[in-house]
Structure 1
Amino acid sequence: MFFLTCLTRKGGIRRATRADFIHNGGFHEAVGPLLVIAQCFCLMPVRGILAATPKGLSFRWKCFRTWYCILYILATIADTGLTINMVVKGVLDVRNIEPLIFHANILLASFGFLRLAAKWPQLMRKWQRVERQLPPHQSWRDREALSVRVHKVTFVLITLSLTEHLLSTISAIHFANYCPSRVDPIESYFMTVVSQIFFVFDYSTWLAWYGKILNVLNTFGWSYMDVFLMVIGVGLTSLFEQVQKSLECVKGKVMPESYWTRTRLQYRLICELIEQVDASISGLTMLSFANNLYFVCIQLLKSMNTMPSVAHFVYFYASLSFLLGRTLAVSLYLSEVNDRSRKPLRIIKLIPKEGYHPEVDRLCHEIGMDTIALTGLQYFNVTRGLVLTVAGTIVTYELVLIQFHEDQNLWNCN
């Protein structure tokens, strides 16, 4: 959201004007601030994200944003290698590989966002062409609704993510003071947080801060993937809502066949856009669900251990609640695309007999027969029923893991 100041297209800051509060209702405009945040954390190196239209978007390999992103990926590759070394030389079990899963997930997500950035300008231009074919917004509230919803989702999720990371830092500091590995408490903290680096190298201040900065970037990328997918779900859902509002205005009325022809073409354009979007983000969707499934299982398994301190207790259950809520939110926001795609059937059922045309039958057939949903690399469709499937999978895995569970001392200073 814009307040008293806003970013210019060149990245500077100026005082906001009345024009900054007038929305065109487009997804490109709504998602711009979210991409600004992403680029601050080395993701989505696209130029022109704050341009007035998608025509200003571009992606270039020979660009500071892209090289900044590639440098981050190289640093993450090195950090993942150090994590593999630490994990392999330790005790291998489902809990101890958690750092490796985390780093591998971030690395794959970084590659996924770089690949998406190259496709983003063309994707947003296609999105805008579809928006222009849909029924126009009737009021300024309708035009700003998408931006407001995207900004609310972004603000809530980013705030919760920062809060969770702050609690993690407090917990780590508390642990470093209780079980110091060094005389200096600051050094002890860094030895705990970036242990994979100092498993190989001797302690140094610049390595400690390098590791901490990379840890912050990785943690943000881990949460941002889910935020981004939720925003995509919101954007696609809003397209179906525009068509739905147009249909509700003629509910029960006799409309000419040309109206239903136009509505069917609008519906088909949205479906084609969803297919193109899915082809670009399905890898991230698969990664998000796999990542959330693993960490929910691990966190639930850890909840059986005795919490060694109040700081650990508060951080652990806040983190678990955030993870469960985020997993559920991703599933519901993405499944809403499928839910909204079927809502026009409710209006079609109310068409008077004299207003029924062959085009209405074709539209009804397309809605009823086609499965319009985002997917995880085409392996599964993200529908509302998937939430129950994921919940059942978590319960099944948890029952298996419990059989091998042994209470661990989370306050082990050895």
Structure 2
Amino acid sequence: MKTKQQRFKNDFLRTIATVFKAARWFGIPSQGGMTAMCASLIILLMLFALEVTAIWKLARAFGSVIARLSGAIFYGNALFSQILTWKFITSWQDLSNHWTRAERTLADPLLQDDTIRKKMIYTTSVVSACAFLEHVLSMMAATGFDCPPEEYFERYILTSHGFLLNSYEYRLFLGVPIFLLSKFATIMWNFQDLIIILVSMGLTSKYRTLNWRTYCIIKTVKHNKYNQSIKFEGKSFSQVQTWRRLRQAYVQQAALVRRVGDKLGALILLSNFNNLYFICLQLFLGINNEQGPPINRIYYMLSLSWLISRACGVVLAAADIRIHSQSVLPLLQTMCHGIFNVEVDRLKTQLKFDWVTLQGMGLFSLDRTLLLKVVAAIIKYELILIQFDN
């Protein structure tokens, strides 16, 4: 019978692999053979054609520039999101190998986080349910409740994609692919944020197990601080040897965060830019359109709340990596008096000065101070827009 530790080993890697496998249904052919590859290429080409059309319409715009710009940004995000997500998932096999090697740094297996799978399933379910509800409300707000069933499809396309088609340009053979692409684009938008959140949760979970191991070792050392060796999990080690292996585990974990960040950086940049733009847009539209049907006001409030929650979720999940990478430092500084060796000193220096966080291609770090900076930027943006609008 498998032990508890064996049952939960690599729960994160197995769960994230399942999520990536499901991505083949909306344009990311991580698995599925030539059929999934061909379908993904078709979606990619259609998104590219739609984005070119949106930019062309924007360049010739005489009406609502905001609507046309928003449409171009929305589908531009979908196009780049598919490319970058595809690239990241393709590189995941190499990253998972480094992930596994980082867990083997210590001779004794690390304690496993037996809650990570449940947390990932819960997070994925919440993101999927909220995204689905928000999109259904957007469709209801686009058509209203007085739309005859036979006119529903045409009204929805012309209302939600007025930046692409005028009423005299509408044809069913154009409306169907646009309708399908709008669903793919919405899924891509939510999926890119979900990837960042789940990967951040996995990295944080590894730091949590490392910190727990450190706490256990400190506790053991304090009970044997006059001895030159300690007994841990039934094995005897010298203190220097134990602390060296622990420090190397933190080194490898920091290297893993940087390696993942290098692969994920472009997607982080795209996600944060897109979320920031549409939060500002929703706030601006809400300020300038206070009247409207109840369904529109309900959709506005829910859509804005979901945008803000998802954007905060991305930043906070990634910020936890930074917090947990240093959370054991106060414990080392307060509990290791009289338990000094060169490896303990090196570990404290390493944790104090090593900046471990995910970054958006080196332009910004995902930590909690970023939320304050973004809030300040949004307030300035809205004040400027209101001033020019007046």
TM-score band (shorter)?
0.7 to 0.9
Over 3 Å counting, the alpha-carbon distance change for 1:202 and 1:226 in structure 2 is same
Q: Please state how far the C-alpha of 1:204 moved relative to its aligned partner.
A: 3.1
SS of 1:381's partner is: coil
2:57 paired residue number: 86
Q: Please state how far the C-alpha of 1:275 moved relative to its aligned partner.
A: 1.1
Contact kept? 2:26, 2:184, Cα under 8 Å: yes
Over 3 Å counting, the alpha-carbon distance change for 1:381 and 1:84 in structure 2 is same
2:10 paired residue number: 25
How many matched pairs? 367
1:287 paired residue number: 270
Q: Please state how far the C-alpha of 1:207 moved relative to its aligned partner.
A: 2.7
Over 3 Å counting, the alpha-carbon distance change for 1:102 and 1:248 in structure 2 is same
Q: Please state how far the C-alpha of 1:143 moved relative to its aligned partner.
A: 4.7
Q: Does 1:37 align with 2:8?
A: no
Q: 2:200 aligns with which of 233, 252, 262?
A: 233
**AA at the equivalent of 2:170:** Y
SS of 2:10's partner is: coil
Q: Does 1:150 align with 2:133?
A: no
More deviation in 372-381 or 393-402? 393-402
Q: 2:46 aligns with which of 38, 58, 75?
A: 75
Q: 1:131 aligns with which of 103, 106, 118?
A: 103
2:389 paired residue number: 405
2:235 paired residue number: none
More deviation in 201-210 or 236-245? 201-210
- What CA RMSD, in Å, does the superposition of the two structures yield over aligned residues? 2.5
Q: Please state how far the C-alpha of 1:96 moved relative to its aligned partner.
A: 4.2
Contact kept? 1:41, 1:220, Cα under 8 Å: yes
In structure 2, the gaps of 5 or more residues are 231-238
Q: Please state how far the C-alpha of 1:209 moved relative to its aligned partner.
A: 2.0
SS of 1:353's partner is: coil
Contact kept? 1:25, 1:145, Cα under 8 Å: no
Inter-partner Cα distance in structure 1 for 2:350 and 2:130 = 40
Q: How does 1:171-320 map to 2 (within 5 A)?
A: 171-174=141-144, 177=147, 184-196=151-163, 198-199=165-166, 202-252=169-219, 253=222, 254=225, 256-304=239-287, 305-320=289-304
Contact kept? 1:83, 1:99, Cα under 8 Å: yes
2:234 paired residue number: none
Over 3 Å counting, the alpha-carbon distance change for 1:133 and 1:66 in structure 2 is farther
Over 3 Å counting, the alpha-carbon distance change for 1:208 and 1:364 in structure 2 is same
Inter-partner Cα distance in structure 1 for 2:161 and 2:89 = 30
Q: Please state how far the C-alpha of 1:136 moved relative to its aligned partner.
A: 3.3
Q: Please state how far the C-alpha of 1:196 moved relative to its aligned partner.
A: 4.9
Contact kept? 1:197, 1:211, Cα under 8 Å: no
Q: Please state how far the C-alpha of 1:150 moved relative to its aligned partner.
A: 1.1
The TM-score with structure 2 as length reference comes to 0.87
SS of 2:91's partner is: helix
Inter-partner Cα distance in structure 1 for 2:151 and 2:65 = 32
Q: Please state how far the C-alpha of 1:268 moved relative to its aligned partner.
A: 0.5
1:11 paired residue number: none
Over 3 Å counting, the alpha-carbon distance change for 1:192 and 1:176 in structure 2 is farther
Q: 1:167 aligns with which of 129, 137, 142?
A: 137
Contact kept? 1:30, 1:147, Cα under 8 Å: yes
The TM-score with structure 1 as length reference comes to 0.82
Considering fraction of residues, name the structure with more helix.
2
Contact kept? 2:140, 2:295, Cα under 8 Å: yes
Q: Please state how far the C-alpha of 1:190 moved relative to its aligned partner.
A: 2.7
Q: Please state how far the C-alpha of 1:222 moved relative to its aligned partner.
A: 0.8
**AA at the equivalent of 1:144:** D
Inter-partner Cα distance in structure 1 for 2:306 and 2:386 = 22
